[in-house]
Protein backbone atom coordinates (compact mmCIF):
# COMPACT_ATOMS: atom_id res chain seq x y z
CA UNK A 1 0.00 0.00 0.00
CA UNK A 2 1.32 3.45 -0.90
CA UNK A 3 1.21 6.35 1.58
CA UNK A 4 1.61 9.86 0.23
CA UNK A 5 2.93 11.46 3.39
CA UNK A 6 5.63 8.91 4.25
CA UNK A 7 7.33 5.64 3.32
CA UNK A 8 5.91 2.17 4.02
CA UNK A 9 8.75 1.56 6.51
CA UNK A 10 7.92 4.68 8.55
CA UNK A 11 4.21 3.90 8.33
CA UNK A 12 4.86 0.40 9.72
CA UNK A 13 6.90 1.86 12.57
CA UNK A 14 4.04 4.25 13.38
CA UNK A 15 1.66 1.32 13.66
CA UNK A 16 4.04 -0.42 16.07
CA UNK A 17 4.36 2.73 18.21
CA UNK A 18 0.57 3.02 18.28
CA UNK A 19 0.37 -0.42 19.87
CA UNK A 20 3.04 0.48 22.48
CA UNK A 21 2.16 3.97 23.67
CA UNK A 22 3.71 5.37 26.85
CA UNK A 23 1.52 5.97 29.94
CA UNK A 24 1.57 9.73 29.26
CA UNK A 25 0.54 9.18 25.63
CA UNK A 26 -2.30 6.90 26.72
CA UNK A 27 -3.53 9.48 29.23
CA UNK A 28 -3.49 12.37 26.73
CA UNK A 29 -4.95 10.22 23.94
CA UNK A 30 -7.95 9.46 26.14
CA UNK A 31 -8.73 13.21 26.06
CA UNK A 32 -7.92 13.84 22.39
CA UNK A 33 -9.44 10.83 20.63
CA UNK A 34 -12.89 10.62 19.06
CA UNK A 35 -13.38 14.40 18.82
CA UNK A 36 -13.41 14.71 22.62
CA UNK A 37 -11.73 18.09 22.30
CA UNK A 38 -14.53 19.77 20.40
CA UNK A 39 -14.70 19.25 16.66
CA UNK A 40 -10.97 18.61 16.29
CA UNK A 41 -9.83 15.30 14.83
CA UNK A 42 -6.53 14.01 16.23
CA UNK A 43 -4.44 11.07 15.15
CA UNK A 44 -1.83 9.40 17.31
CA UNK A 45 1.55 8.11 16.16
CA UNK A 46 1.02 9.92 12.86
CA UNK A 47 3.72 9.68 10.17
CA UNK A 48 4.76 12.90 8.44
CA UNK A 49 7.68 12.52 6.05
CA UNK A 50 10.51 10.72 7.84
CA UNK A 51 9.06 11.41 11.30
CA UNK A 52 6.36 9.94 13.51
CA UNK A 53 4.67 12.49 15.74
CA UNK A 54 2.88 11.62 18.96
CA UNK A 55 -0.35 13.43 18.09
CA UNK A 56 -1.50 15.39 15.08
CA UNK A 57 -4.58 17.37 14.15
CA UNK A 58 -4.02 17.24 10.37
CA UNK A 59 -6.72 19.72 9.35
CA UNK A 60 -5.51 22.22 11.95
CA UNK A 61 -1.82 21.52 11.14
CA UNK A 62 -0.99 21.02 14.82
CA UNK A 63 1.53 18.51 16.17
CA UNK A 64 1.72 17.65 19.87
CA UNK A 65 4.87 15.96 21.12
CA UNK A 66 5.37 14.44 24.56
CA UNK A 67 8.92 14.42 25.84
CA UNK A 68 10.49 12.13 28.41
CA UNK A 69 13.92 12.42 29.97
CA UNK A 70 15.61 11.00 26.83
CA UNK A 71 14.83 14.29 25.09
CA UNK A 72 17.35 16.07 27.33
CA UNK A 73 20.09 14.32 25.36
CA UNK A 74 18.60 14.75 21.90
CA UNK A 75 17.85 18.44 21.63
CA UNK A 76 19.57 18.70 18.23
CA UNK A 77 17.41 15.93 16.78
CA UNK A 78 14.26 17.48 18.25
CA UNK A 79 15.15 20.88 16.77
CA UNK A 80 15.78 19.35 13.33
CA UNK A 81 12.48 17.48 13.53
CA UNK A 82 10.56 20.61 14.59
CA UNK A 83 12.09 22.63 11.74
CA UNK A 84 11.03 19.98 9.23
CA UNK A 85 7.47 19.85 10.57
CA UNK A 86 7.22 23.65 10.58
CA UNK A 87 8.47 23.69 6.98
CA UNK A 88 5.48 21.48 6.18
CA UNK A 89 3.14 24.07 7.73
CA UNK A 90 2.66 22.48 11.16
CA UNK A 91 2.78 24.19 14.53
CA UNK A 92 4.61 21.98 17.03
CA UNK A 93 3.94 22.14 20.76
CA UNK A 94 5.80 20.05 23.33
CA UNK A 95 4.93 18.90 26.81
CA UNK A 96 6.91 16.89 29.31
CA UNK A 97 5.43 13.51 30.19
CA UNK A 98 5.41 14.70 33.80
CA UNK A 99 3.11 17.61 32.85
CA UNK A 100 0.61 15.24 31.26
CA UNK A 101 0.67 12.87 34.22
CA UNK A 102 0.39 15.59 36.90
CA UNK A 103 -1.40 18.50 35.20
CA UNK A 104 -3.51 17.14 32.35
CA UNK A 105 -6.03 19.99 32.58
CA UNK A 106 -3.23 22.54 32.17
CA UNK A 107 -1.96 20.67 29.11
CA UNK A 108 -5.46 20.58 27.60
CA UNK A 109 -5.89 24.32 28.21
CA UNK A 110 -2.53 25.02 26.54
CA UNK A 111 -3.56 22.93 23.50
CA UNK A 112 -6.89 24.76 23.27
CA UNK A 113 -5.06 28.10 23.52
CA UNK A 114 -2.82 27.19 20.57
CA UNK A 115 -5.79 25.94 18.54
CA UNK A 116 -7.70 29.13 19.23
CA UNK A 117 -4.84 31.15 17.71
CA UNK A 118 -4.65 29.02 14.53
- pTM for the predicted model, two decimal places: 0.81
Q: Which pLDDT value is given to residue 1?
A: 44
From 6-10, 24-28, 82-86, the region with the lowest mean pLDDT: 6-10
Query: What CATH number corresponds to the domain at position 109?
Result: 3.40.960.10
CA-CA distance, 64 to 58, in Å (whole number)?
11
Kindly state the greatest CA–CA separation across the chain.
Answer: 40
Range of the domain at 46: 8-117
Which of 64, 60, 58 is closest to 28 using CA atoms? 64
pLDDT digits (tens, 9 = 90+) for 67-114: 986 645 667 888 999 999 999 999 999 999 999 999 999 999 999 999
14 occurs within a structural domain: yes
Per the structure, the count of domains in the chain is: 1
CA-CA distance, 100 to 70, in Å (whole number)?
16
Contact status, residue 115 vs residue 62, Cβ threshold 8 Å: yes
Amino acid sequence: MSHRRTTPKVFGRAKALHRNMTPAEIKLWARLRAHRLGDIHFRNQHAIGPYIVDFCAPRRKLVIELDGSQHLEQTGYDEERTKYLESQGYTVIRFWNNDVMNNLEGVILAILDVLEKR
